Amino acid sequence: MNYRPLVVLFLLLNTFWLQALEPADPARFEKAIRAFEVEDQAQTPPKGATLFTGASNIRRWQSLPERFKKTPVLNRGFGGSHISDVVHFADRIVTKYKPKQIYLNAGGNDLHSGRTPQEVLAAFEAFVAKVQQDLPKTQLAFLSIPTSPSRWDEVELVKTTNSLISASCAKNGVDFIDIFPLLLGADGKPRSELYVEDKLHFSEAGYDVVTSAIKWQKEIHAFAKQDAKKAPPSDPIIFTGSSSIRMWKTLADDFPGLPVMNRGFGGSEVFDSFNYAHLTVLQYLPKHIVMYAGGNDINAGKTPQRVLADFRAFVARVHAALPECRISYISNAPNPKRWALIEQMRECSRLIEEFTRTDKRLQFINVYPRMLGPDGLPKPDIFLYDQLHMNEKGYAIWKEVVGPFLK
């Protein structure tokens, strides 16, 4: 038997993998990597942190700590890097910190420099192997390669690479967070407001999209699993928003005979409902949407004006796809835990109520007065132990107030 063709094939494949894994010139990043080490000497890095690494969209993410306040974060992105560079420096900027969670966003520079999707996949799988070997308990997630206006001619390469990496993630127990479709407008092209002037890197609006995807993709995918088990009703009335919607377990019983659907996801903000409207609302072709959100926004430091802007964007997106759809907004609900924010909550509700008067398809549902006692404070017996979410007495109030708007 002639083994020469097999030997040649082996050499070609070996060369291919080596090219995929070998950085073009790792020395060009030595200054950036050394800066991280100097930073570590000046201030001890937190233990069990959430670590973000990759190329310039990670490096430039200055608002990262503010967006993920519940866990310490480390930003170890270095601009212009390829995935192979992250592999090369993994011991110095990733594994030594022993993070609980790692988010990787890279690959676009690889493609832009001429790497093939298969080469990018090989580099990605090398990084996964490295992390899983050194940190077997650490959860790893890949933020899909984004498109951008300045590199739109590479979009098919990006799509192919994301598809390959997504399949690899499913096989290797890695989370694949697909931000790609969230960055596109109705015309199927990148939304310009999500990028800074260079049309390549994210603006803060772009980071809003990425943050929302990181926080909520699992919950959104859970809705798809529910739909697979039980077909959604036709012409539904969809309740969406934050945890007070998600926790409304008696929703169907409270409104018998009506095709109500619960698509609330706890902790979400109005922007999240906008960001995932195509998956939580629009695909079901609802005749009526009921939203409760905004309290988490205010608690996170957003202004009432920002909440209004996000609600207006949600309304515009819905009506662009479903012009006849009614949208009802439930006012911010007073609660003991966030009573210190009540003036901002009231202003938020006032602005949205004023906006709803401009369109006959919009309604404002004011639950606020019914949730207060004679002393002007939240009724103490309508909340759970957390003093934030309602018990059955609270939902009984909502049933009475919301019900007439569903007719």
Instruction: Determine contact, residues 119/101, Cβ cutoff 8 Å.
Output: no
Question: Which CB contacts under 8 angstroms, 24+ apart, belong to 211-215?
Answer: 211/67, 211/68, 212/182, 212/271, 212/272, 212/275, 212/276, 213/143, 213/177, 213/178, 213/179, 213/182, 213/275, 214/103, 214/141, 214/143, 214/177, 215/267, 215/268, 215/272
Q: What is the pLDDT of residue 22?
A: 65
Distance (Å, whole) CA 57 – CA 146: 10
**Sign of the Cα pseudo-torsion (170, 172, 175, 177, in order):** negative
- Virtual torsion, Cα 73, 78, 79, 85, nearest 10 deg: -130
Up-side HSE of residue 195: CA atoms within 13 Å toward CB?
Answer: 19
- The secondary structure element, H or E, covering residue 314 is helix 304-321
Residue 296 in contact with residue 264, Cβ under 8 Å?
no
Residue 357: CA count within 13 A, CB half-sphere: 6
- Backbone φ and ψ for 325, nearest 5 degrees, come out as -70, 130
- Which amino acid is located at 186 in the chain? A
Domains of the chain are 15-216 (3.40.50.1110), 232-406 (3.40.50.1110)
Query: What are the residue ranges in the chain where pLDDT is below 50?
Result: 3-18
Q: So what's the pLDDT on residue 346?
A: 96
Report the pLDDT value the prediction gives residue 9, as an integer from 0 to 100.
39
Tens digits of per-residue pLDDT, 123-155?
999 999 999 999 999 999 999 999 999 999 999
Task: Please give the angle made by the CA atoms of 225, 177 and 229, to the nearest 5 degrees.
Answer: 5
CB 144 within 8 A of CB 55: no
pLDDT value of position 20: 52
What is the SS3 assignment for 151? helix
- d(CA 192, CA 185) in angstroms, rounded, equals 9
In one-letter notation, the amino acid at residue 295 is G
* pLDDT for residue 186: 87
Cα–Cα distance list, 66 to 30, 365, 369 (Å): 28, 32, 33
**Which residue bears the tokens 């929703």?**
251
pLDDT of residue 118: 97
